[in-house]
Chain A
Amino acid sequence: MKITVDLSFKTILRWALGFLLIWAALSKIANPQEFYGNVLGYSLPLPHFFLRLVAVSLPWLEILCGFMLLSKYRLEAALAWTIVLCAIFVVATGQAWARGLEISCGCFNLELLGFGPAEMKFFQSVGFAFFRAIALLAAACYLFRDYVRPPLAIAK
C-alpha cells in the first residue's frame, strides 16, 4: 500500500495554523488564572462576567480548532472560528497597542523556546502580537477561501 503525503503550501499552512492554535491553547490552559489576568490587562470596556467567560472557554475553542485543522474534520467550521478568533486578537491587541498599554499579549508560552527576558519582552509585546494576529488572520482567510471555494466556484 502506498501512502502519499500532500506537502502542498496549503497543507503546510493548515498544519502550521493548527499547531500554533494548539500551542497557544495549551499555554493558556496550563495557567488559566494567568490568562484571565492577561485578558483583564487589555482593559477592554466589557463586563468582568463576559471576560471571565472568554478566559474560560477561548483556550478550549482554540484547541478544538487546532485539532480539527490538523485532522481536516469539519474544516470549514474550524476555519470560520479561526478567522473569528484571529479577528478578535487583531482588535484586542490593536487597541491595546494604540493605547500604549505595556502588557503581554498572553498568547504563547515562549519559555519552551529558551528565550531570554529581552526576547520574551519583544515576542510577547502587544505590537508584535498585533502583526502576528494579522498574519494568522490572513492565513486563515486564505485557507477558508481555498477550502470553501469549490461550491462557490461551481456557482459561477
Chain B
Amino acid sequence: MREQLTTTIQGLVPTAGLMLAASLLLGIAYNSSSPLGVRYTASETKRVSVNVSPPVTIPQTGYFNQTLSMAFEELPGTMPAGAQPVVPVAPTVNPSLAPTAKPGFPELTWAQVKPLVGTSKAILVDARLASAYQAGHIPGAVSLPINFTDAEMAAFKSTYKPDSPLIVYCGSASCHMAHDLAQRLASFHGFTNVKVMPGGYVEYRQAESQTAAAGGK
C-alpha cells in the first residue's frame, strides 16, 4: 500500500514540476510586460528617494503643507527667491469629517479628504507599489508601499510622529492594500491616527476629471 502510494506520488513529480516551471515562466513574463506587474528585480528599492526624502518635520502646533512641499520638490527653481516656507496653520475641526461608526479604520471619501489636503491637515499615504506611485499619484501624497522595507519604515517613522494624521489610499475600491497598510501602521508601528480613503486613486481621478469638466463648461 505504502509502495503504491509512493509510486503514485513519484509519478506525479515530473508533471507537477513542469506545472511549477510553467507557472514561474508565465508569471515572470506577464509581470515583466505588464505596466502594473510585480517586478522580480530589486528596482523597487529605488523608491526610498521618492518616498520621504528629504525628511520633513511636522510642526508641533499644526501640520506641514505636504502638497506644496512636494510641488516645490518636483519643480526645482520655480520657488521665488526669498520665499518663506509654508506657515503651519492651526487645525480646525470639520464636523463632516468625524470618523464613521464602522469597525476598523475610519473611511473617508475624496470629497472629505480634499479639503484636508488642501489645508495641510493630513498626510496622504500611497500604499501602492512604487511603480504605480511613480506612474501617477494624488499630489502631495507620500509613497509607503505595502512591501516597505525596514529602512523605509524607519525613515517614515522618523519623519512622522505616531499621532500624525495619516490617510492611506491605494488603487480603487477593489484594492485592499490601503486597509492592509493601515492595519500594519496601527498594529505594528504605533500610529494612532490612521484613516483610509477606500476609493483610492481612481476616485481621485474621477472626481477631479468631473470637476475639470464642470469647470470647463
| B and A form one assembly | yes
A residues adjacent to B (C-beta < 8 A): 29, 31-34, 36-38, 40-41, 43, 48, 51-53, 55-61, 64-65, 68, 74, 76-78, 80-81, 101-104, 106, 109, 111, 124, 148, 151-152, 155-156
A37 engages B129 (CB within 8 Å) = yes
> A109-B174, A152-B4 known; A32 and B36 CB under 8 Å?
yes
Query: Top 9 A-B pairs ranked by shortest CB distance?
Result: A41-B180, A37-B177, A77-B15, A104-B176, A56-B27, A61-B23, A60-B23, A37-B146, A57-B27
**Interface check B183, CB cutoff 8 A:** yes
- What would 14 A/B residue contacts be, using CB atoms closer than 8 Å? A32-B31, A33-B36, A33-B38, A33-B171, A36-B38, A37-B127, A37-B181, A43-B184, A48-B149, A56-B38, A76-B8, A76-B11, A77-B15, A155-B4
How far apart sit A151 and B4, CA to CA, in the bound complex (Å)? 7
B28 engages A101 (CB within 8 Å) = no
Note all chain A residues with C-beta closer than 8 A to B7.
151
A33 engages B132 (CB within 8 Å) = yes
How far apart sit A101 and B185, CA to CA, in the bound complex (Å)? 12
> A34-B175, A104-B180 known; A40 and B147 CB under 8 Å?
yes
A37 engages B19 (CB within 8 Å) = no
Give the size category of B's interface with A: 35 or more
Note all chain B residues with C-beta closer than 8 A to A57.
20, 23-24, 26-28
Note all chain B residues with C-beta closer than 8 A to A38.
176-177, 180
Note all chain B residues with C-beta closer than 8 A to A109.
174
> A48-B147, A56-B40, A152-B4 known; A36 and B179 CB under 8 Å?
no
Note all chain A residues with C-beta closer than 8 A to B171.
31, 33-34
> Closest CB-CB distance, A82 to chain B, in whole Å?
11
> Closest CB-CB distance, B33 to chain A, in whole Å?
11
B19 engages A56 (CB within 8 Å) = no
B147 engages A36 (CB within 8 Å) = yes
